[in-house]
Amino acid sequence: MRILLIEDDKELCRSLRSMLEQQGFDVTVSHDGEEGLFYLLENAHDLVLLDRMLPEMDGMEVLRLARKQHVTTPVIFLTALGSLDERIDGLDRGADDYIVKPFAFEELMARIRCICRRPQRLTEARGFTFGDLSYHPEQNLLRCKDRSCTLSRREGDLLSLFLQNTGQTIPRATILMRVWGPDADIEEGNLDNYIHFLRRRLHSVGSTVELQTVRGVGYLLHSNT
């Protein structure tokens, strides 16, 4: 799971980044609002931790502009502005959660887990296309030209993750976090099994798309067309 942390307190950033990475997250850090908005608009992260009081552009404006561009990435405000009106305002402006500083890391992790459990909003309604493949999550239907097959729910979640991140190597820890969830008690061998299942599905429909192993890191979905 990729987290964008937009916070101008560099000491807090170092501490949070270290603790989050120990939990298996991939963390990008920005210390001002303009740069943070640039990263947010790339739509390359799964969650944003956003301070309200930032140099260059405040967090509320960052969130407003991101939502205006239809960026739906979940956002948790981390802020010292904790009055009832300020919390309500932040949530009404498009934040998914609101934590008042100082906070315990355990509480932040609980809020992150809550967001991870929510149904994915995603491009699922319209499906995915990549190379010679199309995938329709609502039907769990994988199609290549005139051949198709149905995926299990777990296979579909795994393929959706790769199709959202084509051309990028996804670390094993990120896959386990996104597909199985942060609280799942799962052995890494189960991931290997599902990668094997998914490769068989790609082969069964005759696709030239390959799920490549990047040794020591994770996996990459690659198209040969």
| Three-state secondary structure string covering 128-147 | EEECCEEEECCCCEEEECCE
Positions of the chain with pLDDT lower than 70, given as ranges: 43, 118-126, 182-184
CB 97 within 8 A of CB 88: no
Provide the 3-class DSSP secondary structure of residue 79: strand
What is residue 186's predicted lDDT score, i.e. its pLDDT?
Answer: 75
CATH architecture under which domain 2-117 falls: 3-Layer(aba) Sandwich (3.40)
pLDDT at 178: 77
Q: Is the dihedral of CA 119, 183, 222, 5 positive or negative?
A: positive
Local structure of 4: helix, strand or coil: strand
pLDDT on residue 182: 61
What are the sequence ranges of the domains in the chain?
2-117, 123-223
Q: What's the distance, CA 110 to chain centroid? A: 16
Q: State whether the Cα torsion 6-12-14-18 is positive or negative.
A: negative
**For position 55, what pLDDT does the model report?**
93
Nearest Cα to 149, choosing from 194, 207, 204?
Answer: 204
Fill in the amino acid letter for 100: V
The CATH architecture annotation of domain 123-223 reads: Orthogonal Bundle (1.10)
44 and 34 Cβ atoms separated by less than 8 Å: no
Alpha helices in the chain (DSSP H): 10-22, 33-41, 59-68, 84-92, 105-117, 153-164, 172-175, 188-204
Q: What is the pLDDT of residues 18-72, one digit of tens each?
A: 999 998 888 999 999 999 999 888 767 889 999 999 999 999 999 999 888 878 8
